Structure 1
Amino acid sequence: MDDGMEQKLSETSNLKWRIWNETRLVWKIILPSILARVSMYGIPVVTQIYIGHISELDLAAYGLIQSVLLLFVNGVLLGMSSATETLCGQAFGAGQYHMMGIYLQRSWIIDFVTATIFLPLFIFVTPLFQLLGEDEDVAVAAGEISLWFIPYIYSTVFSLTIQMYLQAQMKNLIIGWLCCGSFVLHLLLSWIMVSVLELGVPGAMIALNISIWSIVIGGFIYVFGGWCPQTWTGFTKAAFVDLIPVIKLSISSGVMLCLELWYSAILVLLAGYMQNATVAIAAFSLCVSINAWEFMISLGFLTGACVRVSNELGRGNAKAAIFSFKVIVSNSLAIGILFWALFLAFGDKISRLFTSNEEVAEAVSSLSIFLAFSFLLNSIQPVLIGVAIGAGLQGVVAIVNVCCYYIIGIPIGVLLGYVADLGIKGLWVGLLCGILAQTLVLSFLTWRTNWEEQVNRASKHLDQWLLEPEEPTESTGLA
């Protein structure tokens, strides 16, 4: 065998080893993240299932709140919390461990204030939906349910940021255990509250809030209990220093994901203007919930991309960041193809799990093919967003979202849904067009990104915001 052939075999063997090693590493991040996100999102979905078997009106009201208000506010908080993911991931890669606890506390301050600003939306739901021209009965029922979501919103302030803080330092397993345990608790509590005690909608919402806050309490115990000794050194006044740059990054992150999640929320609102609005809202919101639940798997890959890219940029290794992205998107696409095939085969049977109303179930089943293609796009788009978050490019993605979703997707959905009289099918095709356009644009931007420049940018930010570690005597309490 000549030297050239030996070199090629050696390079092939080395590449296989690198792919296997990177795959093993990213799945340590991705798998617990998928379990956490699927379980965490599954909590309100389980509540939706129970409410769907109480009454069609309550299902429509709950779906309207979940798919419009909750999705919007959660999108803002999730996006703003992604600043924690960017900063903690880069700080961990650069070895600035003490800064991670400071970034976490800064995010708590910013997100708590943000959640409070949005509080009136949940208090004045009925007049808000009446102003938007939604069905009167649905708007009144939504006003009764929305107040139960206030504790839920404040729980996400802490649960999301703690998850991202722990993920950045590869402590993913505890997140998965907490969320899975909470999901099992919610199944038990929902059955007791609704089926055994027959408390109806209030019982379902009580179960929701107890379950979601159990994740927060578990996270507090883990962080404060000494399991993060390098990155958590106690509460400190340093959390109130340099808030403006973090606020700017948080706002761009919030706008980025808010525009993405608000996209489907607008389409749910548009469904409310169709004939037989109660059925249209219930069916479309159920489809959004099913798609979003599957999207939680994709968000696991988003997390993997964000953590690995931010870590490698923090270490100053641009080539490793690019290689990790390629491995993650390959794994994600394989999962997407699997779900695409499964839903094409069995998608029309899923609707019966969510509702006893035959008309709503038939409307959901009619969208099963479109949902299958949504799953396929979900396997690529979130990874591209995760790369952008890891590099701190949330502002760029926000601009892309505006153009693709609101200039392309929604107008196409309105034309097909109302002018072409395709109903909720037309709205969903519009949704797919927007996501496809966004995927193509983000793919092009990722290909054209100068990653060495992103390394320098990350290094500059880390040096700019670096604070010296506090003395041990001051780090155990309020400094």
Structure 2
Amino acid sequence: MGSALETLCGQAYGAGKIELLGIYLQRSWIVLHAAAMILMFTFIFGVSVLRLLGQTTTIATAAGTFAVRMIPQLFAYATVIPVAKFLQAQSSIMPMAFIAAVAAVSHVVLSWVTIMKLGWGLVGAAMVLNGSWWFITLAQLAYVLWGSCGLAWSGFSWKAFSNLKGFVRVSFTSAVMFCLGSWYMLALVLFAGYMENPETSVDALSVCVNILGWVGTVALGLNVAVSVRVSNELGYGRPRTARLAVIVVVFTSLLLELFSSTVLLVYKKQYPIYFTSSQEVIRLVEELTLLLGVSTIGNSMQSVLSGVAIGAGWQTTVVYMNIASYFIVGIPLGLLLGFKFNMGVKGIWYGMVVGTSMQCCLLLMMVARTNWNNEANIAGDRIQNWGGDTRGKVDEEKEQFSKPLVE
């Protein structure tokens, strides 16, 4: 839900309406903390929900118990995610990077102490995760509140409670867009729990999904970068520069993920031993490595193009694409291959790859057919509706946009 700020703050900042950023931030806090209160009940009743979904008692109990202990992190997310989007829109990245670096080092050390040395297991993991996220939250919050953001933060205001209905709509659409993508990946692990020898299937998929998440952090960085750049340029009224940013980030992402996939394939017999000592799990991870490599490319491209969509404010359109690609094509195909044709975990993953590939193709078609002049006009209208006027800038850029990108 916080990604709504990427569109609104980014375009407002590009248009020079910096004073709106603080109002947007406070509105997002209100909306996200209300959502966190509702989502908290899914954490509390996690064991029951997983049992209703047919998960084994062992998996349901472990996951549900861990979820209850992660409730503090839920409210940390509701606070820090809007702050992160608020700072990213201003390209204020270094303070966040420094805070994250300190948190990462302390997190690794504390995780090793609590889990490995003290043997606290999931309890220790939950404690460290909660502590790390609240450290990041309080540090970033202090940076914003103590006057480091200039006109972007002028203090708390009652204006934050105005137009909440519209803000909820934008936030909800953004949330659905991201949730469909996240649930699609998590569905892999969920369905693996229904197979024969579910512990091995879940373990192997967890290893692969973790690697996919780690590699995906690069794509996530590009996602944020292109979202900020596109939203800023459209807000300023420079559609030609926004289009150039899209071209650059797509090719950059492709090259980086080709490198990552090559490394995984070359070392497919070595890397699984760092995650598990079970030979059965190691063999299954090796078998899945080719699909993992293909998935890193597809997921990276999808993430980057989603960043373009957020910067331009296309969340609603992308929601429909996600539903079609993931839940009409990808998951049904994966279940068919995995269970009907007895392909097991590989079948489920084949379905996921097909769904992700379809999503990438749809996003690429959408980007290729975009009239960026119109998008700049739409951004100007959006900022004007939410408080401001930027019409002059868009008209100035129109004459330049028809020129070639390289002159």
Same structural fold, with TM-score higher than 0.5 when normalized by the shorter chain: yes
Within the alignment, does 1:435 sit opposite 2:356 as a pair?
A: yes
AA in 2 matched with 1:407 = I
AA in 1 matched with 2:145 = F
Partner SS state of residue 367, structure 1: helix
Partner SS state of residue 347, structure 1: coil
Of the three residues 401, 408, 420, the one matched with 2:341 is 420
CA contact (8 A) 1:348 1:368 kept: no
Once residues 16 and 100 of structure 2 are traced to their aligned partners in structure 1, the CA distance between those partners, rounded to angstroms, is 28
Once residues 347 and 272 of structure 1 are traced to their aligned partners in structure 2, the CA distance between those partners, rounded to angstroms, is 24
CA contact (8 A) 1:405 1:434 kept: yes
Could you report, residue by residue, the CA deviation over 1:270-327 in whole angstroms, capped at 9, with x for unpaired residues? 1111001122122212222221221121011111111111001001111111011111
AA in 1 matched with 2:230 = V
In structure 2, the CA distance between the partners of 1:267 and 1:379, relative to structure 1 (3 Å rule), is closer
AA in 2 matched with 1:176 = A
CA contact (8 A) 2:23 2:160 kept: yes
CA contact (8 A) 1:101 1:231 kept: yes
The 5 A counterparts of 1:362-381 are 362-381=283-302
Once residues 467 and 376 of structure 1 are traced to their aligned partners in structure 2, the CA distance between those partners, rounded to angstroms, is 40
Once residues 115 and 212 of structure 1 are traced to their aligned partners in structure 2, the CA distance between those partners, rounded to angstroms, is 15
Of the three residues 73, 80, 85, the one matched with 1:159 is 80
Could you report, residue by residue, the CA deviation over 1:358-378 in whole angstroms, capped at 9, with x for unpaired residues? 322222222111111111223
The 5 A counterparts of 1:31-50 are none
The 5 A counterparts of 1:138-153 are 138-153=59-74
1:420 deviates by 1.6
Higher relative contact order (CA 8 A, sep 6+): 1
CA contact (8 A) 2:17 2:388 kept: no
Within the alignment, does 1:287 sit opposite 2:231 as a pair?
A: no
Once residues 75 and 315 of structure 2 are traced to their aligned partners in structure 1, the CA distance between those partners, rounded to angstroms, is 24
Once residues 230 and 13 of structure 2 are traced to their aligned partners in structure 1, the CA distance between those partners, rounded to angstroms, is 12
In structure 2, the CA distance between the partners of 1:467 and 1:439, relative to structure 1 (3 Å rule), is closer
The 5 A counterparts of 1:388-427 are 388-427=309-348
AA in 2 matched with 1:169 = Q
Residue 351 of structure 1 corresponds to which residue in structure 2? 272
Residue 474 of structure 1 corresponds to which residue in structure 2? none
CA contact (8 A) 1:336 1:378 kept: no
1:199 deviates by 2.5
Within the alignment, does 1:102 sit opposite 2:26 as a pair?
A: no
The 5 A counterparts of 1:80-479 are 80-466=1-387
1:191 deviates by 1.7
Q: How many residues align?
A: 389
CA contact (8 A) 2:226 2:245 kept: yes
Residue 473 of structure 1 corresponds to which residue in structure 2? none
Once residues 440 and 194 of structure 1 are traced to their aligned partners in structure 2, the CA distance between those partners, rounded to angstroms, is 43
Once residues 320 and 141 of structure 1 are traced to their aligned partners in structure 2, the CA distance between those partners, rounded to angstroms, is 49
Residue 68 of structure 1 corresponds to which residue in structure 2? none
Moved more, 125-134 or 376-385: 376-385
Residue 16 of structure 1 corresponds to which residue in structure 2? none
Once residues 309 and 251 of structure 2 are traced to their aligned partners in structure 1, the CA distance between those partners, rounded to angstroms, is 17
Once residues 197 and 268 of structure 1 are traced to their aligned partners in structure 2, the CA distance between those partners, rounded to angstroms, is 29
Once residues 372 and 93 of structure 1 are traced to their aligned partners in structure 2, the CA distance between those partners, rounded to angstroms, is 37
CA contact (8 A) 2:253 2:301 kept: yes
Could you report, residue by residue, the CA deviation over 1:26-64 in whole angstroms, capped at 9, with x for unpaired residues? xxxxxxxxxxxxxxxxxxxxxxxxxxxxxxxxxxxxxxx
Partner SS state of residue 70, structure 2: helix
Once residues 147 and 350 of structure 1 are traced to their aligned partners in structure 2, the CA distance between those partners, rounded to angstroms, is 32
CA contact (8 A) 1:134 1:272 kept: yes
Partner SS state of residue 185, structure 1: helix
Point out 4+ residue stretches in structure 1 off by more than 4 angstroms: none
AA in 2 matched with 1:314 = G
AA in 1 matched with 2:16 = G
Partner SS state of residue 152, structure 2: coil
Once residues 172 and 95 of structure 2 are traced to their aligned partners in structure 1, the CA distance between those partners, rounded to angstroms, is 28
Could you report, residue by residue, the CA deviation over 1:211-233 in whole angstroms, capped at 9, with x for unpaired residues? 11111011011111211012011
Moved more, 155-164 or 165-174: 155-164
Once residues 195 and 383 of structure 1 are traced to their aligned partners in structure 2, the CA distance between those partners, rounded to angstroms, is 36
CA contact (8 A) 2:80 2:141 kept: no
Moved more, 353-362 or 157-166: 353-362
Once residues 394 and 434 of structure 1 are traced to their aligned partners in structure 2, the CA distance between those partners, rounded to angstroms, is 18
1:467 deviates by 7.0
Residue 395 of structure 2 corresponds to which residue in structure 1? none
In structure 2, list runs of 5 or more residues that go unmatched: 390-407
Once residues 316 and 112 of structure 2 are traced to their aligned partners in structure 1, the CA distance between those partners, rounded to angstroms, is 43
Moved more, 431-440 or 155-164: 155-164
Once residues 455 and 410 of structure 1 are traced to their aligned partners in structure 2, the CA distance between those partners, rounded to angstroms, is 36
Once residues 240 and 121 of structure 2 are traced to their aligned partners in structure 1, the CA distance between those partners, rounded to angstroms, is 55
In structure 2, the CA distance between the partners of 1:458 and 1:467, relative to structure 1 (3 Å rule), is closer
Moved more, 252-261 or 200-209: 200-209
Once residues 117 and 263 of structure 2 are traced to their aligned partners in structure 1, the CA distance between those partners, rounded to angstroms, is 34
Partner SS state of residue 230, structure 1: helix
Could you report, residue by residue, the CA deviation over 1:412-466 in whole angstroms, capped at 9, with x for unpaired residues? 1112111221111111111110000000011001111221111111111111111
* TM-score normalised by structure 2 residue count: 0.93
Once residues 120 and 467 of structure 1 are traced to their aligned partners in structure 2, the CA distance between those partners, rounded to angstroms, is 39
Once residues 275 and 170 of structure 1 are traced to their aligned partners in structure 2, the CA distance between those partners, rounded to angstroms, is 49
* TM-score normalised by structure 1 residue count: 0.79
Partner SS state of residue 366, structure 1: helix
